[in-house]
């Protein structure tokens, strides 16, 4: 059963002698971009200035998780360096440098090796802002220390259905946050959550990774047990939930992003518990991403109003349902 959907590491670094990006002027920002460019271009990275991208290129990179809202907000100062299969390097977003890499497996140690190589490369050419008592200095005090943020996206439909409040409270007490997988909405949509530790001061990277990995293994195990419980003890409720999602997605004529995520969550629960039997394999995150607002507009090649997006999304979902079932 697929519970963990994505694992990501972000390393935040700042260059000594410069203000944080919120206080940078254009000349200082360009100096940072130029300093970082030299070693990355030598390693085969390609440089993109955010201001030089068109609206759809920005939207595409944002939807793929290769740039952040902070980079977009600072587009006159920011840049991104990309290389196929390598960590992305973002400049002048929330901090001077963010090195990030994600995976669809629980393999933080492997991801850390990759981002560390890029970090070591830059560290050999730059002077990072660092203090012995605080570690790496970042614009967000909670990231000081390792300057590393771990994040996982998990699918917890059975736990959510049976009552997710207890696990969310437990995670909070242990120093972890669990937020809904939505773009800015406060609603808990589709039983998909982002889980990450709240702070990084006082821990070594290896310890930080080990603790978080163990927490995630417990979360995954709990969800698997709850799925079995739901199937064995509440099969009628489960079949009703899944078939309502199936019917909505198969016959909808207009559907917004939040409802799409919610129904896809229920649909995939049905697939994984063999209530529904698709003709071909599909992945939850990949499927959701195809029907998100940004992807729809990229596909159409124009910015769409809300109703047009929701109609196009419904049309595309009906086509997918016909192909898969």
Question: pTM of the prediction?
Answer: 0.91
Domain ranges for the chain, please list them: 235-324
* 216-273 confidence digits (pLDDT tens): 999 999 999 999 999 999 999 999 999 999 999 999 999 999 999 999 999 999 999 9
Residues 6 or more apart whose CB falls under 8 angstroms from that of 218 comprise: none
Q: How does residue 58 score in pLDDT terms, banded at 50, 70 and 90?
A: very high
Known binding residue 228? Answer is no
Locate all alpha helices (DSSP H) within 146-201, ordered by sequence.
157-163, 165-173
Known binding residue 7? Answer is yes
Q: What percent of the chain has pLDDT over 90?
A: 78
Known binding residue 153? Answer is yes
Exposed e or buried b for every residue in 259-280, given b needs 16+ CB within 10 A? bbbbbbbbbbbbbbbebbeeee
| φ and ψ of 121, to 5 deg | -60, -50
Known binding residue 152? Answer is yes
Known binding residue 135? Answer is no
Known binding residue 10? Answer is yes
Residue 193, SS3 per DSSP: strand
Known binding residue 110? Answer is no
pLDDT at 186: 45
* 142-194 confidence digits (pLDDT tens): 888 899 999 999 999 999 898 877 787 888 888 888 888 765 444 545 589 99
pLDDT at 189: 55
Residue 114 confidence (pLDDT) above 90 = yes
* 311-322 confidence digits (pLDDT tens): 999 999 999 999
Lowest-confidence region among 88-92, 120-124, 154-158, 182-186: 182-186
List the strands of the sheet with 176-180, edge to edge. Answer: 46-49, 79-82, 88-91, 97-103, 4-13, 148-155, 192-197, 176-180
Known binding residue 283? Answer is no
* 281-293 confidence digits (pLDDT tens): 999 999 999 999 9
Known binding residue 180? Answer is yes
Known binding residue 214? Answer is no
Q: How far apart are CA 6 and CA 26, in angstroms?
A: 35
Known binding residue 50? Answer is no
Could you tell me if 266 and 312 are in contact, meaning their C-beta atoms sit under 8 angstroms apart? no
Known binding residue 20? Answer is no
Known binding residue 213? Answer is no
pLDDT at 166: 76
**Tokens 């995976």, located at residue:** 103
pLDDT at 190: 58
Known binding residue 8? Answer is yes
Q: How does residue 67 score in pLDDT terms, banded at 50, 70 and 90?
A: very high
pLDDT at 165: 73
Q: Which residues pair with 13 in a beta bridge?
A: 97
Mean pLDDT estimate for the chain: 92
Residue 79, SS3 per DSSP: strand
Known binding residue 209? Answer is no
Q: How far apart are CA 216 and CA 222, in angstroms?
A: 10
Known binding residue 200? Answer is no
């Amino acid at each position: 059963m697929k519970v963990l959907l994505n694992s990501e590491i972000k390393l935040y670094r700042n260059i000594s002698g410069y203000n944080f990006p919120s206080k940078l002027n254009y000349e200082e920002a360009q100096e940072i971009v130029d300093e970082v460019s030299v070693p990355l271009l030598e390693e085969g990275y390609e440089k993109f200035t955010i201001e030089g991208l068109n609206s759809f290129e920005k939207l595409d990179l944002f939807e793929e998780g290769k740039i952040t809202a902070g980079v977009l907000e600072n587009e006159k100062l920011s840049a991104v360096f990309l290389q196929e299969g390598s960590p992305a390097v973002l400049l002048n977003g929330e901090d001077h440098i963010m090195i990030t890499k994600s995976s669809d497996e629980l393999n933080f140690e492997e991801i850390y090796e990759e981002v560390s190589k890029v970090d070591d490369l830059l560290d050999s050419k730059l002077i990072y802002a660092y203090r012995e008592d605080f570690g790496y200095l970042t614009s967000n005090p909670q990231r000081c220390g390792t300057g590393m943020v771990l994040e996982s996206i998990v699918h917890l439909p059975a736990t959510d259905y049976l009552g997710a409040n207890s696990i969310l409270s437990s995670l909070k007490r242990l120093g972890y946050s669990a937020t809904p997988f939505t773009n800015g909405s406060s609603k808990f949509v589709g039983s998909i959550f982002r889980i990450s530790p709240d702070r990084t001061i006082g821990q070594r990277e290896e310890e930080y990774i080990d603790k978080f990995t163990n927490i995630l293994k417990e979360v995954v195990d709990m969800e698997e047990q709850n799925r079995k419980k739901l199937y064995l003890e509440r099969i009628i409720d489960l079949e009703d939930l899944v078939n309502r999602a199936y019917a909505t997605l198969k016959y909808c004529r207009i559907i917004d992003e939040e409802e799409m995520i919610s129904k896809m969550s229920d649909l995939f629960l049905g697939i994984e518990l063999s209530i529904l039997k698709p003709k071909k394999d599909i992945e939850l995150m990949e499927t959701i991403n195809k029907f998100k607002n940004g992807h729809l507009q990229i596909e159409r090649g124009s910015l769409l109003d809300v109703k047009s997006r929701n109609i196009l999304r419904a049309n595309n979902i009906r086509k997918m349902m016909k192909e898969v079932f």
